[in-house]
Amino acid sequence: MKLAVTAPDRLVVRTAPVADPGDLVSRLPHPSALAWIRHGEGIVGWGEAARITLPGGEDRFTTAAALLRELFGAADIDDPVALPGTGPVAFGGFAFDPKSPDSVLIVPRRVLGRRDGRAWLTTIGDDADPLSLVHEPHVPTGLTWGDGAMPAHAWGDAVATAVQRIRGGALGKVVLARDLTVHADAPIDARVLLRRLADRFPGCYTFSCAGLVGATPELLIRRTGGDIESLVLAGTTARGDTPGADRDRAARLFASAKDREEHRYAADMVRDALAPLCADLHVPAEPELLTLPNLHHLASPLRGRLTADRSVLDVVAALHPTPAVCGTPTGTAMDLIRELEGMDRGRYAGPVGWVDARGDGEWGIALRCAQLDGTRARLFAGCGIVADSDPAAELAEAQTKFRAMQYALQG
């Protein structure tokens, strides 16, 4: 385990109220952006006071929570604002597969936030003007696209194999993902992608952490004091080209036995994972429709009250991976993903979000995202495969899910 702290041994943290900063993305001074924004509210960060890297393992969430408690517990914190996201905050992303050594938490030197009409700036270390060195964003140009781990026809074959395994009784559902790659003629600026995603998908959680940038509709868990919330999404269709066609697509999704089955697997697992942690848990009897600019989803919002003082990361540990991104039974689905996908997902489909010193935080599932690496980006999309899945339809659904990040890159 490596705990790398780039600030003094004892973090000196000062949070102060500030005037409304306006658009949060526009205040990010350079491309190495940290962000969690929805409907214009949330937090952004820059600089690095501390970084925790985790080599993998089933205990990576609880280990991260323990390391953060140690780091924040030793800090000198002055936080008169005392809202979720004030004081020291760690932005993080965890690998989907526990065998993948790709989990990271970053405590920025500056955090700018806005919530419920109040705004604040948190500073760790010196008091220098955090916006004194501003690098203007550069739009990606000269984009060239290519297949990722496997071409479309090979991925379709993998879906067909998964359907055979499901029909044979090996498992009930598996989520298969594929990737695309794109190269630009200069390093890709995360802020440009954040700006386009936040404008296009304001109801999603637009995020950036250690090069992983995206806009996820799926809230894995929010902890505010003892209260928790989760939003389960499974079952998807593209929007229609006309109002009538759009209504028809939404109605077919809501009535689809295949999509209802896929959703039920995911919602039941989240309920079963949260129930032992909660004194009270509300689970809707049936899903509702969530409509985004490009997609309809089946959605189930869950709300509960924790029985003990657990960090949001402790709850994340109980939830990941959900059937919405893995399948069921979990172990069998994970093994099949490793066999058929032909790639390491990295932090795609893993938890992404933030946690503060009180244990409050918001964590989503890293969907509709891309991993940036200099001039290269790797895009991801996944589909839930059940017994009635059709490879051609799943391939079309994956292509629809790529479009959010293709738009972010191309404009």
Which residues are known to be catalytic? 173, 218
The whole-angstrom separation of Cα 281 and Cα 299 is: 17
DSSP 26: G
Q: How far is CA 350 from CA 6, 186, 216, 345, in A?
A: 26, 28, 11, 9
Of 267, 276, 235, the residue nearest 253 (C-alpha): 235
Of 357, 369, 354, the residue nearest 42 (C-alpha): 354
3-state secondary structure of 286: coil
Other CB atoms closer than 10 Å to residue 82's CB: what's the count? 10
3-state secondary structure of 350: coil
CA end-to-end span of the chain, whole Å? 40
Contact 102, 95 (CB under 8 A): yes
The whole-angstrom separation of Cα 276 and Cα 104 is: 28
* Secondary structure element (H or E) that encloses residue 196, with its range: helix 190-200
Contact 32, 136 (CB under 8 A): no
Contact 385, 175 (CB under 8 A): yes
